[in-house]
């Protein structure tokens, strides 16, 4: 969360299933603080896709995915 506070990114991409982070807590903090306008893209496994969409992410890309799909997703969120 410190990095979001320092640089206020246009979009946040979270690679879920990394063992050292509490991804749901990060998503919750983004949504509860002054960062609710920052789009969040989650990178997840097929089995977790719906779960993370229900937790407040804007888009969820299922791994593996093509980098072109990530760029298209970022572009569509930033055009809003």
At residue 26 the predicted structure's pLDDT band, cuts being 50, 70 and 90, is: confident
Tell me, what's the pLDDT at 22?
77
Domain ranges, residue 42: 2-78
At residue 6 the predicted structure's pLDDT band, cuts being 50, 70 and 90, is: confident
pTM comes to 0.82
Contacting residues for 70 by C-beta, under 8 A, at least 6 apart? 13, 41, 61
Q: Average pLDDT of 42-53? A: 82
* CATH assignment at residue 70: 3.40.50.2300
CA distance 52 to 13: 13
Tell me, what's the pLDDT at 19?
57
Cβ 62 vs Cβ 49: under 8 Å? yes
CA distance 35 to 48: 24
Structural domains in the chain (count): 1
């Amino acid at each position: 969360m410190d990095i979001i506070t320092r640089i206020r990114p246009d979009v946040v991409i979270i690679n879920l299933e990394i063992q050292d982070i509490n991804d749901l807590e990060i998503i919750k903090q983004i949504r509860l603080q002054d960062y609710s306008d920052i789009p969040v893209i989650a990178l997840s496994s097929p089995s977790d896709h719906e779960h993370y969409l229900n937790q407040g992410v804007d888009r969820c890309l299922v791994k593996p995915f093509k980098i072109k799909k990530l760029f298209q997703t970022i572009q569509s969120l930033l055009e809003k």
